[in-house]
Amino acid sequence: MKKLFAFLLVCSFGTGVNAQKYVFEYGFKLGGSNVLGDMGGKEKTARAFVWDIKMQETNVSLGGFVRYKFNNLVSANLGLTYGRISGDDALSTNPGRRGRNLSFRNDLFDLSLRGDVFLYNVNDVGGRGRYRLDFKSFGFLGVSGFYHNPKAQNPAYNGGAWTALRPLRTEGQSKEYNKISMSIPMGFGFFFTYRRQHRFGFELAYHLTFTDYLDDVAGVYPEIDQVADPSLYYVFTNRSPDLPADLLPGGGLGNYEPGEKRASLPGENGGNDAFIFSHLTYSYVLKGKNSFYSQNFNWLGRRGGGRRKVRAKF
C-alpha cells in the first residue's frame, strides 16, 4: 500500500520528478569571435559595446563545456574556449584611426565559470503531446580567466612574420603587461532538447575584461628611447610615417608624435577592452537517476515490473 501511494504521487507530478534525472551534460561550441578595443572599428572613434564591431574582423572560435542543473531555474556552466580576435586601422573610415595605421591579432584561451538562469521554456514544441522537443532560453553571468598574447606583422620586419608585441613595450611601459587576465562574461542563449538527451542551441557571450591591452594599444605614443628596441619604433609602435600625407589628418604627423594619444579612449569607461563569443552549441545530456527514484522505483525498469528474485545461498 505504501509503495502504491508513492507510485501514484510520482504520477501526479508527471514528468517533474523524472526530469530531474537529466541534470548533467557535456558538449562543444563553434562560432565566431570579435573584439571591442581601440583598433579598427567603424567611422567614429571607439565606442562601447557592439556599435564598434567590424564584421570583416570576425574570426573562428570553438570550445567545450559541461553544465550541471541544480533545479529547474539555475545551472552551473564550466567552459574552455579558444577564439582569435583581430583589428586593423586600414578597415576604418575614421581619419584618426587610419592615420594611426596599426593592426594586430590575438589568440585567446578562456576558462569560464558562470550561472545559467532559465527565463522561458516550452515543454512541448509544436503542442502535439509527444514531448519529443522542448525549448529553453536563459541568461548568464560569471567570471573567467584567459591567456592572451597580441601580435602584429610588418612587411618591413622579419619577412612579415607575426611578432609578439608585449616584449617590445610599445608604449614605453616600465614592465611587460600580464598575459593572464580576467573578465566578466554575460549574455543570453537558448537551446532545443530532442528526446531529452540531444541539445542544439545558440549563445552570445560578452566578456568585459580587466585589461586594455588585448590590442596592445592603451595610452600615448612614447619617446623612441622608451621602448624596448628603439630600432622597431617605426615598425610596430608608430606606423603613421608609412602612409602618404593625404591620408593623415591635417596632412601631417602632429597627431602621432610622443605624448599624443595612441589609444582611442584612454581612461574612458575604465579604458578596458572587451571581446564577444557567439556560438552554435551541441550537448549530450546524461541519463542519471535521482536518489528518490533509485530508492523507491528502481524496480520499475525491470522486465515484468516485479522484484528481482534472489536465490538463497547456503
With contact defined as beta carbons under 8 Å apart, do 61 and 279 qualify? yes
Say if domain 24-298 classifies as CATH 2.40.160.20.
yes
Tens digits of residue pLDDT in 67-81: 999 999 999 999 999
Amino acid (1-letter code) at residue 132: R
* Residues β-bridged to residue 62: 30, 82
Say whether 10 sits in a helix, a strand or coil. helix
Q: What is the pTM of this model?
A: 0.81
Average pLDDT in the chain:
83
For 205-233, write each residue's pLDDT tens digit. Answer: 999 999 999 999 998 999 999 999 999 99
Q: Which residues of 66-99 are buried (b: 16+ CB within 10 A; e: fewer)?
A: ebebeeeeebebebebbbbbbbbbebbebebbbb
State the pLDDT at residue 264.
Answer: 65
Query: Coil, strand, or helix at residue 251?
Result: helix
CA dihedral 158, 159, 163, 168 (to 10 degrees): 30
* Strand ranges for 247-299 from DSSP E: 274-286
Identity of residue 54: K
CA dihedral in degrees (301, 305, 307, 310; nearest 10)?
-80
Q: What is the pLDDT of residues 95-140, one digit of tens each?
A: 888 888 999 999 999 999 999 999 998 887 777 777 788 999 999 9
Which one-letter DSSP state was computed for residue 220? Answer: B
- Asked if residues 69 and 33 have their Cβ atoms less than 8 Å apart, the reply is no
Rounded (5°) CA angle 253-261-237: 70
Give the pLDDT mean for 149-155.
95
Residue 87 CA to residue 106 CA, distance in Å, equals 9
Distance CA 227, CA 168 (A): 6
Question: For 27, phi and psi rounded to 5 degrees?
Answer: -165, -170
